Amino acid sequence: MKNRHVNALVVGAGAGGGVIASVLSNAGLSVVLFERGGWVSFDDHDNDELLSQRTTVLGNAFGPDDERYRRVVINEDGSTEIVYPSDGAYNNVAACVGSGTVSYGAMAWRFMAEDFTMKTTYGRVEGSTLDDWPITYADLEHCYERAEWEIGVAGDSSLNPFAAPRKKQYPMPPFAYNKEATLLESAMKRLGLHPFPIPMLRNSVPYSGRPACIRRRTCCGFACPINAKCGTHNTVIPAALSTGNCELRTNCIVSALTIDGSGKITGVEYFNGENGKEEQTADIIVIAASATETPRLLLNSTSKHFPSGVGNRFDWVGRNLQGHAYTGAFGLFEEDIFDDVGPGATLAISDFSHHNPGITGGGILANEFTRLPYLFSNIRPPRARLWGEEHKEFQRKYFRRNIQVVGPVQEMPFFDSRVQVDPAVRDSWGIPVVRLSGHRHGRDAEGCEFLSGKAEMILKEAGAFRTWRHVPGGGLSGGQHQAGTCRMGNDPRSSVTDRFGRVHDTPNVFIADASLHVTNGGFNPALTIMALGYWVGEHIASEWERGNRFS
């Protein structure tokens, strides 16, 4: 049976895809939303640390699975390795309705104005494709606001003097600090810094018919047992479905775009839940499959009009893969600090986000999400014993007496950090898999050195008797904050989409996920991705309203 033609299809029900499905179906377009995973709830995986989305040693509770999925990684020595979703090198986000927004830590950052004008602010960076976005913070401001109100954010931006200007406050009051944040707050103030509560996509009070957070230790990496965490799965996706215009097809793996003889993109082909092949046609095709899977889909879609993949005429699809150089420091204390008030991270500073002498960009610093017992067993100062009596004693003594201060350093985009498709290796549906290669730009190490030094200084001021820094290596970045692989731009020769996310050279293909990011800010990216979902969606909806059918 042939599937009914629809106005728009969206690939991926994550942060960006969930939002745009809601915008389009609310505007009256008929929509099919494809998701390769299913619905996953707290009851499926409980508080299980070993397969949480943060500590994936026994698998990813929120997908994908190790049986059907794999990727190829080119190591820096040139060797090739096959990796699975539970390996860090796979660079996973998730695969379920809501994707990362089900199990995320839910920090809800707006970027700052400078994050959209990195090249203008800091000048050219040798060896980096650093550039300005084709849109500004002011363009996106109302989209941030929609994300904050329609999905739900708790915070108080008035306490952050560096926050970009906003028209409307958050819909919910901020969360109270836990004990480690209280300790850090006074230390930061003594240092002349400006601490404030982290804006969170979690209900601090009942909101949108869902209850207030009960502050558990298992939040980041887990689903919320009471639905107090706000993701696309419990906000915009249900809103899309309730219009009656949107059909969500779960467990459907989109394998390629379909292209007719004239070079027009007509829809997608996909494998349904029974692994049967089907097609779906649509006037508009929106890809929101994440910064690693979106370029894979474009590159796997070839025809005589698109010999190297859709949108890839100038070889920019899959380029500039970036994430965040997460860096910071640990501190040990003489007294108990752990008060088991989840999710741990409650306080941040934005003093070092920009305009740091000699540094391009910077990042926020925040206290970290609760370090659960297994994760903590791998946290030790340099040269400490990693097993035996000393290790056990350390675990007992310091589980309740440590603080971690960390932040995402803005990375310099690097053209040769990239997603390709592997010529040989396929997933269990026979689709060529993602092939990752490249490494961080050298500048990122300077940002890490700088920011981890600040983290250490704060911990010392807070009374830590022992501190040590942690800095990521120079290898490939991406991870849960992956972005940048189909950047937007005004020049089709050095970008993949226009400023509204439309793929150059195709009238009806749009992208609406982290792939669009020209740069990734010194902030966790989810709220910006959601804002881009509104940005691209509003553009399509208003053009549709004017009668544009994108053909």
Ligand X SMILES: Cc1cc2nc3c(=O)[nH]c(=O)nc-3n(C[C@H](O)[C@H](O)[C@H](O)COP(=O)(O)OP(=O)(O)OC[C@H]3O[C@@H](n4cnc5c(N)ncnc54)[C@H](O)[C@@H]3O)c2cc1C
Which residues of the chain form contacts with ligand X (CB under 6 A)?
11-17, 34-37, 53-54, 93-95, 99-101, 103-107, 220-221, 253-254, 288-291, 293, 297, 480-481, 513-514, 524-527, 529
User: Which of ligand X, ligand SF4, another protein, none interacts with 524 (beta carbon under 5 to 8 A by kind)?
Assistant: ligand X
- Which residue number, 125 or 478, has a Cβ lying nearer to ligand X? 478
Classify 483 as helix, strand or coil.
Answer: strand
Token digits for 522? 């010194």
> Minimum CB separation from ligand SF4 for residue 213, in Å?
3
Classify 185 as helix, strand or coil.
Answer: helix
User: Which of ligand X, another protein, ligand SF4, none interacts with 37 (beta carbon under 5 to 8 A by kind)?
Assistant: ligand X
Q: Strand 509-511 and strand 277-287: pairing?
A: parallel
> Minimum CB separation from another protein for residue 338, in Å?
8
Give yes or no for a contact between 247 and 32, defined as CB atoms under 8 angstroms apart: yes
- Which residue number, 54 or 187, has a Cβ lying nearer to ligand X? 54
> Minimum CB separation from ligand SF4 for residue 340, in Å?
11
Ordered alpha helix ranges (H), 329-442: 373-377, 389-398
Q: Is 214 in the site for another protein (CB under 8 A)?
A: yes
Stretch that binds another protein, among 59-67, 188-196, 259-267, 274-282 (CB under 8 A): 59-67
The span from the CA of 314 to the CA of 77, in Å, is 28
Stretch that binds ligand SF4, among 54-62, 220-228, 321-329, 528-536 (CB under 6 A): 220-228
Residue 172 to residues 155, 207, 368, 492, 503: CA-CA distances in angstroms? Answer: 6, 8, 22, 41, 37
Q: Is 226 in the site for ligand SF4 (CB under 6 A)?
A: yes
The span from the CA of 21 to the CA of 29, in Å, is 9
> Minimum CB separation from another protein for residue 226, in Å?
10
Which residues, in sequence order, are CB contacts of 182 under 8 Å at separation 6+? none
Give the H/E segment covering residue 81: strand 80-83
- Rule CB under 6 A: which of 331-360 touch ligand SF4? 342-343
- Which residue number, 81 or 279, has a Cβ lying nearer to another protein? 81
The span from the CA of 232 to the CA of 207, in Å, is 15
> Minimum CB separation from another protein for residue 387, in Å?
4
- Which residue number, 32 or 471, has a Cβ lying nearer to ligand X? 32
User: Which of ligand X, another protein, ligand SF4, none interacts with 35 (beta carbon under 5 to 8 A by kind)?
Assistant: ligand X
- Among the listed residues 36, 45, 146, 215, the single contact to ligand SF4 using CB under 6 A: 215
Return the half-sphere exposure (C-beta side, CA atoms, 13 A cut-off) of residue 512.
36
> 526-545 and 137-147 are packed helices; what angle lies between their axes, rounded to 10 degrees?
100
Ordered alpha helix ranges (H), 123-271: 137-147, 179-190, 236-242
Which residues, in sequence order, are CB contacts of 495 under 8 Å at separation 6+? 134, 316, 487, 488, 489, 504, 518
Q: Is 399 in the site for another protein (CB under 8 A)?
A: yes
User: Which of ligand X, another protein, ligand SF4, none interacts with 395 (beta carbon under 5 to 8 A by kind)?
Assistant: another protein
To the nearest 10°, report the CA torsion of 350, 353, 358, 359.
Answer: 140
- Among the listed residues 192, 373, 423, 430, the single contact to another protein using CB under 8 A: 373
- Among the listed residues 34, 42, 62, 84, the single contact to another protein using CB under 8 A: 84
Stretch that binds ligand SF4, among 3-11, 132-140, 211-219, 350-358 (CB under 6 A): 211-219
Whether the bond into 64 is cis, omega within 30 of 0: yes
DSSP characters for 365-379? EEEPPP--HHHHHT-
Q: Is 384 in the site for another protein (CB under 8 A)?
A: no
Q: Is 66 in the site for another protein (CB under 8 A)?
A: yes
Site of interaction with ligand SF4 (CB under 6 A): 202, 213-216, 219, 224, 226, 228-229, 342-343
Q: What does the binding site for another protein look like in residue numbers (CB under 8 A)?
A: 46-50, 57-59, 66-67, 70, 79-82, 84, 86, 179, 214-218, 335-340, 372-374, 376-378, 386-389, 391-392, 395-396, 399-400, 424, 428
